Every structure is written in C-alpha cells, then in structure tokens.
Amino acid sequence: MSEKYYPLTPETVPAYVHARPELREIFHEDEAVEAVEVGDGNLNLVFRVWAKADPKRTVILKQALPYLRLVGDSWPLPTDRARIEAEALAIEYRLVPQHTPRVYFYDADMYLTAMQNLNNHIIMRKGLIQGIKYPHFAEHIGLFLAKTLGYTSDLVLDYRTKKEQVARFISPELCKITEDLVFTEPYRKTERNRYHKEIEPQVLAFQADEALHVEVALMKEKFMTHAQALIHGDLHTGSIMVNQTETYAIDPEFAFYGPMGFDIGAVIGNLFLSYASHEVRTPDPEQRADFRRYLTDTVIRLWKVFEREFQSVWAQVDAINMPKGYQDDYMLRLLQDSAGMGACKMMRRVIGLAGVEDIRGIENVEERSIAASLALNMARALIMQRGDLRTIEQMVEIATGCRPAYPWKETSPFASAVR
Ligand code: SR1
Ligand code: MG
C-alpha cells in the first residue's frame, strides 16, 4: 500500500481536487466544490464532485478500497486493480472514445481515477428494469466489443506487444473472484451463495447436475487459460451507462487477458436476465412481448454489428496463415463461447453472492421465483446446447424456448425436492 493513501470522504474531496492541476480546466482555484459518495457497486468509493456555482462543471472520482466493500475488511482486495482499470480505460479510449469515459488522471498514491461524469446517462440495468429501450445500444456495444477485443488480440498486436500487455494486466485476485463467484460456488453448497429459499429445489438440482458441471468446468478452464484479448472482465448492464443516443462502458477493473466470449456473453447474458425478469415485471402480455422483442433484437443486432466490425480486424491478418475457413471457425467459437460464458454469468446472478436487481429486486417472492427459475432454465439450455449453435438467431431461439419451472409441478424434475 502507498503510504500516501487515505480513503476520501465528501469532506476531504474539495481539498483533494484543488490540489490536482489536471482539474484546473474544470474547477477554478479555491472555488466552493461539493461532493457526494454515490458508489453502489461492490468494491469502491465513487464521488460525484461539482462546482457549487455551476454544477455542470463536474467530475467523478473513483477510489479503490483495500477490501471488498460488499463484505467488509475481512475480504482484502489489491488496490492495483485501480491501475488496471485506468490503463484499460486508456486503451479503450484510444480504440472507442465515443463509448469510454474520458480520464483526467490516475493517482497512483491514492488508487484513484478522475473521470468524466456521465450525468446525462443512467446505469443500463436500471433503465431495462423500467422497460426503457435504447435504440442505439446494439450498434454501440457491438462496435465497442469488436474494437476492444479485436485490436488487443494476437490478430492485430505484434508478438512482443501482446505478451507485454498480458503481463501488465495480470490480475490474480480479481480473476480469482470471478473463478469462484461465476464458475465454482453457484454449483456447490457454500456459505456465500445468496439465492432465496423458494428457488432451492432448482438450485439443488443444478448443484447435483454433473452434465452441467462438465460444461461449466470447460468454461472455467477457458476463462483461466485463454489469453485471447484484453477483456473488460465485468461487462454486465450495471457497467454500462446509456441514454437514448449514447452508450459508455465503465468500470473495467476486472480487465485482464481472457476469452473474448466472456465480455460478449456478459452483455448477452444480462439482456437475457432482463428478459427473464420481465416474465413478471411486465404483466401486460403485449407490452411484455414488445419489450422482449426489443431485448432479443438487441442480442441479434449486437452480434451482427460485432461480426461486421470485426471485418476490419480480419482485414489485417495474414490470409495464408489465417484463411477464410479459420476466420469462420474463430467467429463460430466466439458465438459458442459467448453462449456458455453468458449462461454462467446468468446462473451466478441467481444463485451466487452478488445478485442483480433485475431478479433480486422483485419484491413478491413468488414472482421472483418465477423469474429466477426462468433465468436458470435459459442459462442451462444455452450452455448445454452451445455446441450446436451456428447462428445468433439459434441462440435466441434456445433462450426464448425456455419456461420457468416454478411453481413446481408434479411433473417437474424439481418436484421431488419439495415433496
Ligand atoms: C465480490 S465482488 C462481486 C462482483 O462484483 C463485481 O461487479 C463483479 O461482478 C464481481 O463478481
Ligand atoms: Mg464494477
């Protein structure tokens, strides 16, 4: 730990920002500055800061705590994740500035990044919960994925830069969180799982399902060993800020060199979680069908944009070493990985420690069980059938063909557990 580190508070923020010359373009010397802590994530302090005389002059300060905020100081966390996030943001900004918040500076003593306040945007998950559509999201995120993944991979980087980059982004502790929370704990009895008891029969069935465990283990192995590209590492809809015209990906503190399908799958899996939640969140059948069509069209469109934009990557490869047949095979593997990884991201959000508001925020427990059960069934189908996938439309068909198993019927495979 740096000796100069101290966790900021709203009271200490004004003096801190006035001491930073990089913020002179925003805050005048010694003017009144106000701050509020707005972090609602699992890990960090986040301060919204603005000039009292002109709240449009504003900035976000994100500071790493040396422990996991969600749990407390019994779970220490390396502050180096703040450097990784700042460096990942710099790379993303170079590749897709229109979808990456601007960074003013990174303070290596305070493990703190000062960045653009996206105050005209909301966290996408919150918008989806309200049934708000984002018409440009698929185009934006498809481009973001293609550029950030393609241009940090071996397909584009020279042999030396790629290896140097892998080394800069080694992040054992944050990867371990994902290995445990996404690929291990949901499938066994552990104290950290947080599912609600009504859904337990289905959870226990998943925890006894060896065929499922094989597929999850294959995904975990890929996550741990496939240094394919610099991935964001946590690209769920809580890490995306949107409005009707713009999209920004925030929070790449879990960035490392991993499989591209983990990022693509995170976006798709979270859109499918929203789909499952609207089984109960939108009671009117027409409205529900309409919003779900938006979600599935978005999944299809984002993949197609990703494929289209990835063409600029393929244009740079040596076509003798990497002929068309190899390129097609690469894209197919990405599609199948995205289904498998996305499925794991869905199951962890229902069963594991860190849930999502889409499902866990449903107050009525019967309704929450219906949505959770549907999300689990969609995820299982996606991971088990991913090897048969040839198109994104087939992925959507698999997911939308699923039904909730709750309330348990006599014929349901989970009925024996409730008798
Ligand atoms: C223990 S941290 C829980 C989760 O929060 C982050 O957003 C990641 O998704 C991580 O798995
Ligand atoms: Mg985060």
- Report how far ligand 2's centroid is from the alpha carbon of 234 (Å): 6
Q: Which atom, in ligand 1's list, is nearest to the CA of 41?
A: 7
Please give the pLDDT value at position 415.
67
Q: Residue 417 pLDDT > 70, yes or no?
A: no
Instruction: Assess whether pLDDT exceeds 90 at residue 72.
Output: no
For the segment 50-78, the average pLDDT, to the nearest whole number, is: 91
Q: Residue 46's beta-bridge partner residues? A: 62
- Ligand having the closest approach to the CA of 178: 1
Predicted confidence (pLDDT) at residue 218 exceeds the cutoff of 50: yes
Where helices occur in 7-156 by DSSP H, the ranges are: 13-18, 80-95, 124-129, 137-150
254 CA to centre of ligand 1 in angstroms: 9
The reply to whether ligand 1 has any atom less than 6 angstroms from the CB of 346 is no
Q: How many angstroms separate the alpha carbon of residue 375 from the centre of ligand 1?
A: 19
Q: For residue range 241-276, what is the model confidence (pLDDT) as tens digits?
A: 999 999 999 999 999 999 999 999 999 999 999 999
Query: 């068309």: which residue's tokens?
Result: 324
**350 ligand 1 Cβ < 6 A:** no
Give the number of the atom of ligand 1 that is nearest the alpha carbon of residue 236. 9
Whether 257 and 164 have beta carbons less than 8 Å apart is answered as no
Residues 82-108 have a mean pLDDT of: 98
The ligand placed nearest to the CA atom of residue 354 is 1
Ligand 2 center from residue 178 Cα (angstroms): 12
Average pLDDT over residues 5-26: 95
pTM exceeding the 0.95 threshold for the entire prediction: yes
Q: Residues whose CB is under 5 A from ligand 2 (ion)?
A: 41, 251
Q: How confident is the model at residue 419 (pLDDT cuts 50, 70, 90)?
A: very low
Backbone angles phi, psi at 57, to 5 degrees: -90, 105
What pLDDT score was predicted for residue 416? 64
Residue 107 pairs in a beta bridge with 112
What single DSSP character describes residue 102? P
Q: Which residue is closest in CA terms to ligand 1's atom 6?
A: 42
CA of 250, nearest ligand number? 2
Asked if residue 21 has a cis previous peptide bond (ω within 30° of 0), the answer is: no
Centre of ligand 2 to C-alpha 43, Å, is 7
Residues 278-290 have pLDDT tens digits of 999 999 999 999 9
Tens of pLDDT, residues 194-207: 999 999 999 999 99
- Alpha-carbon span 384 to 369, nearest angstrom: 22
At 41 the pLDDT is 72
Stretch 53-66: mean pLDDT, rounded? 96
Task: Specify the pairing of strand 229-231 against strand 256-258.
Answer: antiparallel
User: Cα separation of 313 and 150, whole Å?
Assistant: 6
Q: Whose CA is nearest to atom 2 of ligand 1?
A: 42
Nearest alpha carbon to residue 60 among 119, 99, 117: 117
Residues sharing a CB contact under 8 Å with residue 27, sequence separation 6 or more, in sequence order: 17, 18, 33, 51, 57, 59
Residue closest to 14 by CA, chosen among 35, 41, 28, 29: 35
- Does 70 score more than 80 pLDDT? no
Does residue 86 have its Cβ closer than 6 Å to ligand 1? Answer: no
CB-ligand 1 contact for 42 (6 Å cutoff): yes
pLDDT of residue 95 exceeding 70: yes
Q: Where are the alpha helices (DSSP H) in 7-114?
A: 13-18, 80-95
The pLDDT tens digits of the residues spanning 314-344 come to 999 999 999 999 999 999 999 999 999 999 9
Output the DSSP codes for 221-271. HHHHH---EEE-S--SGGGEEE-SS-EEE--GGG-EEE-HHHHHHHHHHHH
Q: Do 28 and 53 contact (CB within 8 A), yes or no?
A: no
CA of 59 to the centre of ligand 2 (A): 18
